[in-house]
């Protein structure tokens, strides 16, 4: 049964990472009736330090103790992806609502286990932290789709190429460690999640990947460790209606194009760029050049993840960004990319 809008909701946090500190904790504290009552981090020392820093009253010795504590109604999971599946499934089984950080899981098998757990406990809200890209322009882009601004979609271009891993002297990042990060490469999953708001899931992918520096300095000791997540990805896709897609992702491109999504259609073009500001550029047949779209104030969206989560718990609104079935769709895509790159063969979707 959904909680009423006046009821108190007691939240526990498993893993107070950067996004949890910057967004989730302030966002939850801004909502009347929400209490942050408990925290657990990777070590007792970190738990004590962060709990004192953030003013969270109860510390837990491990995540299992937190998610099964009867005094907690909802769990925010801010850990690395290697724990998302186990913590989510345990929390749902314990009767907790769950907001899980993206990436959903390390691979499709874990994501499907999470979806099965959510379906087995339909009274609990199961929500993923959504891709922040496209939230500002989403409503306006859907209106352009409704108005058939671009006509029939012909090509999709998704770019996520920068130099975040160009400096090989830096320590191995967790996103470069498949044991922690899984099969999701760079921003492939998060930008594909964004694209799926505006285009259908492809029916076929054909991918190649490359790792240009196979080892990095060990962040937890001496010596080097292998880089097990590629730093360059190219993907060709096919959609059911005949449209084609091109994805380019890289962490080693100096002065690369950054993050962008382009939709090319039979009568128009839409380009969305994600820099310091989200911008939309449009053009139709007969236009000399594309122009920046001014989004009406009532159509401008934004980050309201914590409000959506609590609103869903209280029965005031549905989960729109992002439910578990949507997460499984982007996990299926990243899995297909990994399988294609490993085999050198195209992979059909949906995966069996």
The pLDDT value given to residue 17: 86
Q: What percent of the chain has pLDDT over 70?
A: 98
Domain of 50: which CATH number? 3.40.50.720
Asked if the model's pLDDT at residue 325 lies above 50, the reply is yes
Query: Whole domain around residue 92: which residue ranges?
Result: 9-129+304-322
The pLDDT value given to residue 352: 85
Domain of 228: which CATH number? 3.30.360.10
The arithmetic mean of pLDDT across residues 49-75, rounded, is 96
Query: Within a domain: residue 334?
Result: no
Residues 293 and 315 in one domain: no
Give the C-alpha separation, 300 to 137, whole Å: 6
Asked if the model's pLDDT at residue 198 lies above 90, the reply is yes
Query: Within a domain: residue 337?
Result: no
The pLDDT value given to residue 222: 93
Query: Within a domain: residue 230?
Result: yes
What b/e sequence results for 305-318 when a residue is b if at least 16 CB atoms lie within 10 Å of its CB, and e otherwise? bbbbbbbbbbeeee
In the beta sheet, which residues pair with residue 284? 268
Residues 209 and 317 in one domain: no
Residues 78 and 171 in one domain: no
The arithmetic mean of pLDDT across residues 259-278, rounded, is 97
Residues 201 and 244 in one domain: yes
Kind and range of the H or E run holding 235: strand 232-238
Give the C-alpha separation, 12 to 70, whole Å: 11
The arithmetic mean of pLDDT across residues 250-261, rounded, is 97
Specify the number of domains making up the chain.
2
pTM of the model: 0.94
Asked if the model's pLDDT at residue 246 lies above 60, the reply is yes
Query: Within a domain: residue 193?
Result: yes
Residues 38 and 99 in one domain: yes
The pLDDT value given to residue 2: 55
């Amino acid at each position: 049964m959904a909680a009423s809008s006046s009821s108190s909701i007691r939240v526990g946090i498993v893993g107070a990472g950067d996004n949890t500190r910057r967004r989730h904790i302030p966002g939850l504290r801004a909502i009347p009736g929400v209490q942050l009552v408990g925290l657990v981090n990777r070590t007792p020392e970190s738990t004590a330090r962060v709990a004192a820093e953030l003013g969270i009253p109860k510390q837990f010795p491990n995540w299992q103790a937190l998610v099964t504590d009867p005094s907690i109604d909802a769990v925010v999971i801010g850990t690395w992806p290697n724990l998302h599946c186990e913590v989510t499934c345990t929390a749902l089984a314990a009767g907790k609502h769950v907001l899980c950080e993206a990436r959903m899981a390390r691979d499709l098998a874990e994501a499907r286990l999470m979806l099965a757990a959510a379906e087995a406990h339909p009274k609990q809200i199961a929500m993923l932290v959504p891709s922040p890209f496209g939230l500002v322009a989403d409503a306006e882009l859907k209106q352009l789709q409704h108005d058939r601004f671009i006509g029939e979609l012909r090509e999709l271009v998704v770019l996520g190429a920068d130099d975040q891993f160009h400096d090989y002297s830096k320590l191995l990042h967790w996103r470069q460690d498949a044991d922690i990060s899984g099969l999701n490469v760079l921003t492939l999953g998060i930008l594909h999640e964004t694209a799926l708001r505006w285009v259908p899931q492809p029916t076929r992918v054909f991918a190649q990947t490359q790792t240009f520096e196979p080892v990095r300095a060990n962040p937890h000791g001496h010596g080097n460790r292998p880089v097990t997540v590629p730093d360059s990805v190219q993907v060709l896709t096919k959609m059911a209606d005949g449209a084609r897609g091109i994805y380019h992702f890289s962490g080693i491109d100096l002065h690369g194009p950054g993050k962008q999504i382009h939709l090319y259609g039979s009568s128009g073009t839409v380009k969305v760029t994600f820099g310091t500001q989200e911008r939309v550029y449009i053009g139709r047949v007969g236009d000399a050049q594309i122009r920046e779209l001014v989004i009406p104030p009532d159509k401008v969206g934004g980050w309201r993840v914590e409000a959506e989560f609590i609103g869903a718990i209280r029965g005031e609104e549905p989960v729109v960004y992002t439910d578990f079935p949507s997460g499984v769709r982007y996990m299926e895509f990243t899995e297909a990319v990994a399988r294609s790159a490993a085999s050198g063969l195209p992979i059909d979707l949906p995966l069996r």
